[in-house]
Amino acid sequence: MKIISFAAIKGGVGKTTLSYNFGEWLAKHGNKVLFIDMDHQCNLSQTYEVYGNDSIGTVANIFLQKGDVTINHVKENIDLIAGNMHLDDIETNIENMTNKNMRLYMWLNNNYDVLNIDQYDYIIIDCHPDFSTATKNAIIVSHDIISPITPSKHGFDAKFNLQDRIDELRKEAIEFSTGKSYVTAKLYFVANMLKRNTSSSNEMLESIKDDDSVIAVIPEKELFNRSNLDETPVVEMEEDTRTYNRNYNFFQDFEKTFKQIQDKL
């Protein structure tokens, strides 16, 4: 089983769209996927028409350490733990607790057998675009972190900002008896929303050409950008013959790019 967090410091970079489509792509190829929605905007949960509230076990119960956590079966090979729109308030409430960054780690350990966690090939965590307590929890349990970057000055700044934040967390999250860090994840970047023949996109392509941490490039494409808003992943769009024929090159590149990401992890 591999745990992958999709994280970013900057919003609007396509983080949820990328995590949603990668999970759907993995599921289509026979992998069993568990999504954990750690973004209090809950866009991923709403894509699957799962609306977190106090009556069902959302990620809130992981951080509150009380109540059950519901694993929702949303479609073939895909399950989901719903987000909670009050997660930012919960983060504030546990801010002074010494184990605030270890809540997800402890929950996974305590429920690994009970919830049959090892049935999943991939756990995909969609984080809020910040470096708050929930994001730190996700990073601590992850094997890999994927962060989309976009062709803008702020996109480049966010890349280095995230690297620095994770390095700081690596030094803080220490198992005291061994001195080893709980943060072992590798950080990768995906260049997203690149537009053809624009100076900003060309500058980004030039800057990342020798950067091994950038594992894929995804061009600007409305089909991809609107997939989670329309609640239709790319792997389902390509089942429509007319759409597939009109966007043949896009679908071919999509398959190749996501296989490339999987192989790098």
Residue-wise DSSP of 16-60: HHHHHHHHHHHHHTT--EEEEEE-TT-HHHHHTT----TTS--TH
DSSP output for 77-101: TEEEEPP-TTHHHHHHHTTT-TTGG
**What is the longest distance spanned by two Cα atoms in the chain?**
60
Which of 23-32, 203-212, 224-233 has the highest mean predicted lDDT (pLDDT)? 23-32
pLDDT in tens, 100-123: 999 999 999 999 998 899 999 999
pLDDT for 26 equals: 98
CA atoms within 13 A on the CB side of 59: 37
pLDDT in tens, 11-68: 889 999 999 999 999 999 999 999 999 999 999 999 999 976 655 799 999 999 988 9
The arithmetic mean of pLDDT across residues 128-151, rounded, is 96
Pairing state between β 180-181 and 174-175: antiparallel
Q: Return the amino acid letter for 115.
A: L
The arithmetic mean of pLDDT across residues 185-213, rounded, is 89
Residue 146 CA to residue 259 CA, distance in Å, equals 14
Predicted confidence (pLDDT) at residue 265 exceeds the cutoff of 60: yes
Question: With pLDDT > 90 as the criterion, what percentage of the chain qualifies?
Answer: 79
Predicted confidence (pLDDT) at residue 229 exceeds the cutoff of 90: no
pLDDT for 55 equals: 55
The arithmetic mean of pLDDT across residues 167-180, rounded, is 95
How would residue 208 be classed by pLDDT, with cut points 50, 70 and 90? confident
How would residue 243 be classed by pLDDT, with cut points 50, 70 and 90? very high
Q: Which CATH number fits domain 2-264: 3.20.20.140, 3.40.50.1370, 3.40.50.300, 3.10.180.10?
A: 3.40.50.300
Q: What is the pTM of this model?
A: 0.95
